[in-house]
Chains A and B, each alone.
Chain A
Amino acid sequence: MSKFLGRWIYFLEQKNLRILIINSVYFHRRENLAGYGKIGKGQLESIEQYLSNHNDDKIKIVLCHHHILPHERLNLGAEDLMVNGNELIDILNRYFFDLVIHGHKHDPLLRYAPGSTFTVPVFSVGSFSATTNTIITGNRNHFHLIKIRKIKNISKGNIQTWEFLPSRGWVPADAGENFFPVLTGFGYRGTIDTLVDKTENIINKSPTPFLDWKKFIQKLPDVQNLTPQGCLEFKNKLISKNIITHPELPKCPIQIGRTHHP
């Protein structure tokens, strides 16, 4: 059963899905309080209590407006961080939340929250129909399709992103390495070195020193669950082993292979 915890916290329950919706602008009652987001201590307690009573293996997602991790890049400022966001992260990590989706910053960014064991992925989705961010940060408007698979409490996700170009409409994101990629993901919890070793093995066993990316992904699907930062690290470590993709990651490659050095 879906349930409101007070007026500003809502748990949406579906068969395999639980969405925790937090109104982080609840405190915006006066102008001096409207510069940041907040979740109150009492609300955190309510959330914790609800989760302890509903500790299952559903896909769990948080939706809120403000960011719970510092997001200061592109001169976007630090003062608007959600107050008590750290404590919320601790709860989400403890209850194995699969994803936090937030807005506010108009700058798409995907990373993991800090934590010692399990860490929840946090996705700043950017903006869908804003105009100011295109002037301030150069970011375009975005539309994402998020797919999450969860098996035995281990979830893996893929994000496909489109961006809006005036006069062309929504097209697969392709603004370059400094912007959000067309395909990314989350949920790979191993090391990049392990992925690189596996990649080398796959190429070494291949009859040709290259493979179609689709075939490669079938053999090593974890690569699809790297965050943009992880993908960049993966790419650079591959290059040090004379392995490249075409086009270069984070664009969606057609092939991967070992370079020939005459």
Chain B
Amino acid sequence: MSTESFHSTFNARHLQPEEVAETFIHNTDYEELIQNNHTVLLGPRGCGKTTLMKMLTLPALNSWNDQRAKSIRQQISFNAVYISTDIYWNAQKDSYNKQLSKFPLYSEIVSKVAVTTNVFFSLCESFENVIRYQIKPSNQKQEVELAKNLIKEWKLIPTIPNLSMVKEALKRRTDSLNQHIQKTVFNSSMDEDIKITDEYFYLDFHSSTEAAIFTFERIFKSDKNCKWALCFDELELAPMWLQERLFNSLRSRDQKILYKLSSSPILSISSELAATPGNDLKLVKMWPYGNSNKYHDFSETIVRSLLKKKFLKNVDPEIIFGSNPILSKMHLQSDYEKGGQTWNEIIQLAKKDSGLMRLLKKEKIDPNNPSISASNKVKLDTVLRKIKPIVYFKNYYRNYKEDKQGRKIRSRKSSSLFYGKEVLYKICDGNPRWLIGIVESILKKADNSSISKISEASQARVFHETAEQFNNIIKTIPSAIVERKNKIYTLAGILKEIGDYFFKEIVMGEFEMDPHSTFIIDDSITDEFIGILEKAVYQGAIVLINPSENAFDFNIRKKRFRLSYLFSPLYKIPLRTYAEIPLSKTLTEKETIPTQTKLIL
């Protein structure tokens, strides 16, 4: 995977619904989404929100080859209208080269026209889908009547009255809007100078959509009890007025239109504007939080399907990737008994780590024979299982050195701690895009003709390269730079400081049973700093561990986070959540050498 393709290769945004359905893996989040109520999907980039949203559409549902497909098609009681957020909706802020920044009112109008036009286009696609899949035999005269109505109500240029040409006319409207913007930029200097004569500027996406749906149902005599779901995807990229309006609309009940929204884990809008999750609004948080193992089975299913695609038959992931001794649940007690791998690791570390030695003695465990009888299972759970990852990491990385280029210069018998099926399932935090990318990269090293384990070193290299690529993505995020206490921080720099801090504490520091591996955004963190940390949340670079229970989160202050497990090979820290520490304590406060970070014009 190149840096450029890190997010794009397996991005459902670029796929047709039928293509999404080909590789879709069902999960519990999808079950929540198909319910007949407003739903909000929250999750970082790449976690599969777009895939789930596209799987609501009729072409996807009818292409999905799965034993559950038929019953789910019958279960869904709404017609989905999939609407992908376009950066041009943010007329003033991010698009049109910021030419509209001096026209705030006009910018908002342009933004609303752009949104309305996109919604109309998506609605036409849904009409076409409903006609294709649900109304048989379809009648072209009905389509003509509908199209004539839409041409009139949506103030379109005269065109051939069918849905494909209505969509063409909507594309031309976008072109016409762009021309209007260019004329405005060249001929006006403030909002008051701008004349708007085209009637389409005054259309509202919600009321016009509702009217069009009623017209459709009247003409096609379709089920009037069936609702229509406007599925707005990637709302974090949408203009603020739209986010506020949509989240506010979630309060409404008994209406024709449902909303299915997807956004970043942290909402940008004011907390008063959003509806409260409850019976009519379901919130789905698409990342593992707490000690959730929510995505283990989902990840395993994805891996199995990729192996089947590669080897053309069912293959146990353990055969290809092996099992990781730190994360494996299969080793059970024998691993801790005399001669077991963990037993050996503990003895080895206890010989050179006085902290571990003290801990074992305190817990009345013999450092020279730390085996525990089956009768003392509590101690196995509360001590040995807990310290196991730390023991392995300390043993491995204490002898670890890097040259100036960051290359490991002293090797041990084991090439890495990052290999095995358990690492695969855990390291991606339930992010299918990352998982598919990693598995496909590892499988490139496999021989198609023989089904055998891929070396631990090869797997470890892919995990490390993926972490590097993710870090490069973080480095390229625009405006992710902030000053704090005379020090310039980039987002990648912040994450490195956090990662390095945890490495020093977990691996290099005094042995502790519960070291720090999570952080709380404490009061000394400035709003500006929080702004770029929110970008990290959106990218999935930091993971919210304690989201509000069945409620939206509007701010990351006082929230607890960990680094994405994807960074673990880079910062050499275990895939495990330990105690929390205020973020400010992980940041060094040494002044940086003044570095030019902005081009002086």
Closest to B160 in A: A257
Check if B376 is an interface residue, CB within 8 A of chain A.
no
B160 contacts A210, C-beta separation under 8 Å: yes
B160 contacts A207, C-beta separation under 8 Å: no
A211 to chain B, nearest CB (A): 10
Check if B34 is an interface residue, CB within 8 A of chain A.
no
Complex: A258 Cα to B148 Cα, angstroms: 12
What residues of A have a CB within 8 angstroms of the CB of B140 in the complex? 207-208
A207 contacts B141, C-beta separation under 8 Å: yes
Check if B457 is an interface residue, CB within 8 A of chain A.
no
Closest to A243 in B: B160
Residue of A207, A209, A246, A256 near B161 (CB, 8 A) is: A209
B168 contacts A246, C-beta separation under 8 Å: yes
A202 to chain B, nearest CB (A): 14
Complex: A259 Cα to B144 Cα, angstroms: 11
A260 contacts B141, C-beta separation under 8 Å: no
Given A207-B140, A208-B140, A209-B144, A258:B151 Cβ within 8 A: no
B141 contacts A208, C-beta separation under 8 Å: yes
A236 to chain B, nearest CB (A): 16
B154 to chain A, nearest CB (A): 10
What residues of B have a CB within 8 angstroms of the CB of A209 in the complex? 144, 160-161
What residues of A have a CB within 8 angstroms of the CB of B141 in the complex? 207-208
What residues of A have a CB within 8 angstroms of the CB of B144 in the complex? 208-209
A204 to chain B, nearest CB (A): 14
Number of A-B contacts (CB under 8 A): 47
Chain B 125-144 near chain A by CB (<8 Å), digits 1 or 0: 00000000000000011011
What residues of A have a CB within 8 angstroms of the CB of B159 in the complex? 244, 259-260
B158 contacts A242, C-beta separation under 8 Å: yes
B160 contacts A262, C-beta separation under 8 Å: no
Q: Give chain A interface residues in 225-256, CB to chain B under 8 Å.
A: 242, 244, 246, 254-256
What residues of B have a CB within 8 angstroms of the CB of A210 in the complex? 160-162, 165
Closest to A259 in B: B158
Closest to A262 in B: B152
B164 contacts A255, C-beta separation under 8 Å: yes
Check if A73 is an interface residue, CB within 8 A of chain B.
no
Check if A261 is an interface residue, CB within 8 A of chain B.
yes
Chain B 144-180 near chain A by CB (<8 Å), digits 1 or 0: 1001100110000011111011001000000000000
A260 contacts B164, C-beta separation under 8 Å: no
What residues of A have a CB within 8 angstroms of the CB of B161 in the complex? 209-210, 257, 260
A260 contacts B168, C-beta separation under 8 Å: no
A68 to chain B, nearest CB (A): 42
Residue of A207, A242, A246, A262 near B165 (CB, 8 A) is: A246
Q: Give chain A interface residues in 99-118, CB to chain B under 8 Å.
A: none
What residues of A have a CB within 8 angstroms of the CB of B164 in the complex? 246, 254-255
Complex: A259 Cα to B160 Cα, angstroms: 4
A4 to chain B, nearest CB (A): 56
Complex: A209 Cα to B148 Cα, angstroms: 11
Complex: A254 Cα to B168 Cα, angstroms: 12
B563 to chain A, nearest CB (A): 41
B417 to chain A, nearest CB (A): 43
Complex: A255 Cα to B168 Cα, angstroms: 12
B225 to chain A, nearest CB (A): 30
Closest to A245 in B: B160
Closest to B162 in A: A210
What residues of A have a CB within 8 angstroms of the CB of B152 in the complex? 262
Residue of A246, A256, A260 near B151 (CB, 8 A) is: A260
Complex: A207 Cα to B151 Cα, angstroms: 19
Complex: A207 Cα to B140 Cα, angstroms: 9
Closest to B144 in A: A208
Chain A 187-226 near chain B by CB (<8 Å), digits 1 or 0: 0000000000000000000011110000000000000000
Most chain A CB neighbours (cut-off 10 Å) among B141, B151, B165:
B165
What residues of B have a CB within 8 angstroms of the CB of A260 in the complex? 147-148, 151, 158-161
A249 to chain B, nearest CB (A): 14
Closest to A203 in B: B160
Closest to B149 in A: A262
Residue of A208, A254, A261 near B158 (CB, 8 A) is: A261
Complex: A259 Cα to B147 Cα, angstroms: 11
Complex: A209 Cα to B161 Cα, angstroms: 7
What residues of A have a CB within 8 angstroms of the CB of B148 in the complex? 260, 262
Complex: A106 Cα to B550 Cα, angstroms: 69
B151 contacts A255, C-beta separation under 8 Å: no
A255 to chain B, nearest CB (A): 7
Complex: A242 Cα to B152 Cα, angstroms: 16
Closest to B153 in A: A262
A246 contacts B158, C-beta separation under 8 Å: no
B-contacting residues of A (Cβ < 8 Å)? 207-210, 242, 244, 246, 254-262
With contacts A208-B162, A262-B158 known, what are 10 further pairs, Cβ within 8 A? A207-B141, A208-B140, A208-B141, A210-B160, A210-B161, A244-B160, A254-B164, A255-B164, A255-B165, A260-B160
A-contacting residues of B (Cβ < 8 Å)? 140-141, 143-144, 147-148, 151-152, 158-162, 164-165, 168
What are 24 sample pairs from A and B whose C-beta atoms fall under 8 A apart?
A: A207-B141, A208-B140, A208-B143, A208-B144, A208-B162, A209-B144, A209-B160, A209-B161, A242-B158, A244-B159, A246-B165, A255-B160, A255-B162, A255-B165, A257-B160, A259-B159, A260-B147, A260-B148, A260-B151, A260-B159, A260-B160, A261-B158, A262-B152, A262-B158
